[in-house]
């Protein structure tokens, strides 16, 4: 099967497995695991922050970040389909007691004006305090879209003016950095806390990081323990992270180029794809114009040996390129997907 369901579908390469096998380990709860310590140092630098904390998943990373930044009853502002709002089971409310203020906007990118309109000034007794702005880059639900540096900086400036705390859900921030051709630190340094996922485009079996100032990371380490995420010989998995940061970052450009080629091939074959929306490793396909329901479309694709997946949009599926997808897979997908969906080539 050509598995384009998600960039989480990768399995560790032989080289990554060798790095895992050779890992030096220790008790990471006591910060005695040299490989975890190395990963945390490298990740902090990469993300333009002073310190980073290794955690098992990007969901845990986000939830820790929000709890560090807010108090129960505070509000977190984010795009309405952001991962923290639609895919973490209400975690911001459950773990941090936060109220959620969703913003509607194209491509997952909101504006300074939207923040100003949403911002509530508390009266101390009745009105909840707007405390956190959360940015997702790249933005999953909109199809891996990238915040342009000037848009991001304008939102950050407004956030600072309003004394808001800034969270970056940077699960795929390295995709954003590679797509823009800038160091990830150029994006990450603007935020109070940045999270990064290792088990998406970077190809690790698990792992994520929360990064910020040493003061905030003291709190993050306490919460990691509270959430049951403090581990023991975690260098076994951190070694995959160290390997990935060395070998799998620049190559994200290959995933982006393959997604672009896939999108163009599908478009030429009459599959409804909006080419201008393909900015990183996601291609969204609208099956409604083909007269198909998404479940039906997925079934037909599976019969042809291609895996796509649902999105939050009721008629759109997505194909995601990753480390385990090569040029040949893309050639075959360009043949098989239009056939499965009954698309007619454009004249
Ligand atoms: C933007 C974003 N943030 C966070 C996560 C959470 O990652 P995980 O499910 O590995 O915890 C995801 C997963 O898809 C995501 O897309």
- Residue-wise pLDDT tens digits, 25-80: 999 999 999 999 999 999 999 999 999 999 999 999 999 999 999 999 999 999 99
39 lines ligand 1 (CB under 6 A): no
171 lines ligand 1 (CB under 6 A): yes
Atom in ligand 1 nearest the alpha carbon of residue 172: 1
Return the closest-CA partner of residue 169 out of 42, 64, 36, 38: 64
83 lines ligand 1 (CB under 6 A): yes
Residue 347 pLDDT greater than 60, yes or no: no
Instruction: Name which residue sits closest to atom 3 of ligand 1, judged by CA.
Output: 171
Q: How far does the centroid of ligand 1 lie from the alpha carbon of residue 199, in Å?
A: 9
Q: How far does the centroid of ligand 1 lie from the alpha carbon of residue 195, in Å?
A: 10
79 lines ligand 1 (CB under 6 A): no
Instruction: Name which residue sits closest to atom 16 of ligand 1, judged by CA.
Output: 140
Q: In the chain, which ranges are continuous DSSP H helix?
A: 14-21, 34-46, 58-69, 83-86, 91-96, 112-118, 149-161, 173-180, 184-188, 214-226, 235-247, 252-268, 294-303, 327-341
Atom in ligand 1 nearest the alpha carbon of residue 206: 10
pLDDT digits (tens, 9 = 90+) for 148-191: 999 999 999 999 999 999 999 999 999 999 999 999 999 999 99
Residue 234 pLDDT greater than 80, yes or no: yes
pLDDT at 344: 73
197 lines ligand 1 (CB under 6 A): yes
Helix 173-180 vs helix 252-268: crossing angle, to nearest 10: 80
Please provide residue 172's backbone torsions phi and psi, each rounded to the nearest 5 degrees: -120, 35
3-class SS at 286?
A: strand
198 CB-near residues (< 8 Å, 6+ apart)? 204, 206, 207, 208, 209, 240, 241, 244
Q: How confident is the model at residue 346 (pLDDT cuts 50, 70, 90)?
A: low
Q: Say whether pTM exceeds 0.85.
A: yes
């Amino acid at each position: 099967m050509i598995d384009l369901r998600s960039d989480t579908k990768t399995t560790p390469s032989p080289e990554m497995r060798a790095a895992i096998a050779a890992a030096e380990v220790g008790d990471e709860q006591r910060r005695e695991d040299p490989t975890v310590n190395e990963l945390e140092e490298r990740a902090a630098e990469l993300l333009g922050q002073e310190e980073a904390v290794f955690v098992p998943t990007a969901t845990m990373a986000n939830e820790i970040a929000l709890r560090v930044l807010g108090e129960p009853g505070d509000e977190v502002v984010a795009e309405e389909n952001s991962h923290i709002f639609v895919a973490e089971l209400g975690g911001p409310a459950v773990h941090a007691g936060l109220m959620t203020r969703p913003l509607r906007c194209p491509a997952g990118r909101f504006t300074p004006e939207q923040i100003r309109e949403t911002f509530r000034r508390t009266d101390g007794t009745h009105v909840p305090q707007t405390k956190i702005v959360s940015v997702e880059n790249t933005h999953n639900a909109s199809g891996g879209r990238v915040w342009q540096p000037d848009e991001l900086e304008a939102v950050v400036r407004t956030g600072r003016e309003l004394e808001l705390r800034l969270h970056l859900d940077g699960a795929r921030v390295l995709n954003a950095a590679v797509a823009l051709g800038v160091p990830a630190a150029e994006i990450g340094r603007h935020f109070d806390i940045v999270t990064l996922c290792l088990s998406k485009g970077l190809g690790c079996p698990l792992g994520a990081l929360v990064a910020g100032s040493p003061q905030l990371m003291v709190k993050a380490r306490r919460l990691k323990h509270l959430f049951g995420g403090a581990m023991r010989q975690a260098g076994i998995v951190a070694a995959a992270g160290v390997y990935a940061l060395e070998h799998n970052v620049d190559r994200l450009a290959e995933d982006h180029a393959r997604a672009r080629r896939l999108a163009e091939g599908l478009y030429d074959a009459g599959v409804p794809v909006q080419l201008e929306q393909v900015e990183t490793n996601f291609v969204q396909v609208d099956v409604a114009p083909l007269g198909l329901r998404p479940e039906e479309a997925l079934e037909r694709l599976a019969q042809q040996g291609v895996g796509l997946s649902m999105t939050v949009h009721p008629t759109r599926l997505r194909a995601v390129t990753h480390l385990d997808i090569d040029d040949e897979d893309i050639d075959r997908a360009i043949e098989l997907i239009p056939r499965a969906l009954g698309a007619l080539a454009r004249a």
